[in-house]
Structure 1
């Protein structure tokens, strides 16, 4: 597949792959997340401790500004819309942070709660940053992390694939073979950062991820950048309050290969193309 690097081709790809434009995420699902966040539910906060009280109306306005979703509270059904221009602008800012840490050979921690979809995106970034002289951190490999799920408390194992952290279910039938578990929890990144501090080695100068990885790291004072869908208000609140540096709005549930052009675009903008 030919490299997709120009802004025009990336814009077209965003719309064709439904990474932006009309996306699969429903308005009903997003509004439910906004209500949970406004109520202080940890399932929606995913590591963010907001400085102010965010009402549902506040969140709708924020998400309209950051993502391009409808700003009308009376709009309660259908599919969300992400403005591709906002995605492109955020990808540019994301690339600037990647370029900055890559240029100085800094230490980076990458992690995902969406390994089925986003592992390749982060792994390609990890490869390029490593080639640029960055230290890709892998603290707490093999540590147990107890995460509350809809099925109750479940123990997971923190693992790394191509330099990208994820968690695996402890009771997986074929440990190490499944792509990893989907989670919004900030506990994995807290575990990883605590282990890095305990061993007295390098701490990340930049954390790249999604869900609890970007929110949990940002809340602890680490520079964090990442990706988020319209039903995840927490990273955007973190960005609005200065806790998270950059959040790229896009659908985080499309086919994994649809994210590869975005990786190539980021690396080209960051002058880290391999």
Structure 2
């Protein structure tokens, strides 16, 4: 079993926590955009109240461990590994509860080239425990606004994990898919599941728009988020999102393998 101390050491060595690659400037910019109501940063969350930039800094300091000093405007963000571990434990509790009741689950990621393996391990374990891993709307088109304009993507699944990809585009020798923060893919998946007469997921696991979009619609949602993504943490603070794990979400995919092992050990879902 991977101990908390061993995982803490890995988080720091891989820079998933501690001093991370996310620049303070990038985080502050996204906090400003969130405070202004920019949908590119809200990513599916409809806040119950107004959040100013200073309040967001305080929230992210509390949930992630970033600097609470609004005058610190440069350098690298810092994530407290103890907060990451505590959130992973809460994440594991939700997995265990879903496995005990054999709940249908939906998994999706906006970072398939980084996080698909992490979620794929969870999907395999939940399926082995008797959970139905849902794959609604596979192959359907979803139009997502990007910095290059409106682009059509296809909703696809690999190892039970949803992601979007450009039609006919894949990464030879690597994990397929496009990076997106949009909540539209999860809305499409949930609508398709409802149209088909169910089942609907009792737990949604993901990041970015997947966790925010599902949580805003009232589904139990848990996931991962970086320090420059305030929306999931606002959703958690307001009760729309159940659990958010603070960590760097842009590291090499192999760095997340110990997190899969740790979470499954805690959830008693290890092979």
TM-score norm. by structure 2 comes to: 0.98
Q: Secondary structure at the match of 1:118?
A: helix
Distance 1:176 1:259, change over 3 A: closer
What's 1:131 paired with?
128
Listed as ranges, the gaps of 5+ residues in structure 2 are none
What's 1:60 paired with?
57
Within 2, Cα distance between the matches of 1:198 and 1:119?
A: 27
TM-score norm. by structure 1 comes to: 0.97
Two-structure CA RMSD over aligned residues (Å): 1.3
Counterparts of 1:232-247 in structure 2 under 5 Å? 232-247=229-244
Pairing partner for 2:35 from 12, 33, 38: 38
Within 2, Cα distance between the matches of 1:234 and 1:95?
A: 21
Q: For the Cα contact (< 8 Å) 2:171–2:177, is it kept in 1?
A: no
Q: For the Cα contact (< 8 Å) 1:158–1:167, is it kept in 2?
A: yes
Q: For the Cα contact (< 8 Å) 1:196–1:203, is it kept in 2?
A: yes
Shift of 1:5: 1.1
Pairing partner for 2:3 from 3, 6, 11: 6
Shift of 1:170: 2.1
Counterparts of 1:13-52 in structure 2 under 5 Å? 13-52=10-49
Which portions of structure 1, spanning 4 or more consecutive aligned residues, are displaced by more than 4 angstroms? 173-178
Listed as ranges, the gaps of 5+ residues in structure 1 are none
Q: Does residue 164 of the first structure (1) align with residue 161 of the second (2)?
A: yes
Within 2, Cα distance between the matches of 1:225 and 1:64?
A: 20
CA deviation string 1:209-242 (max 9, x = no partner): 0000000000000000000000000000000000
Counterparts of 1:120-199 in structure 2 under 5 Å? 120-170=117-167, 172=169, 179-199=176-196
Q: Secondary structure at the match of 1:19?
A: coil
Within 2, Cα distance between the matches of 1:91 and 1:33?
A: 24
Aligned pair count?
Answer: 271
Counterparts of 1:91-130 in structure 2 under 5 Å? 91-130=88-127
Q: For the Cα contact (< 8 Å) 2:112–2:175, is it kept in 1?
A: no
Pairing partner for 1:224 from 214, 217, 221: 221
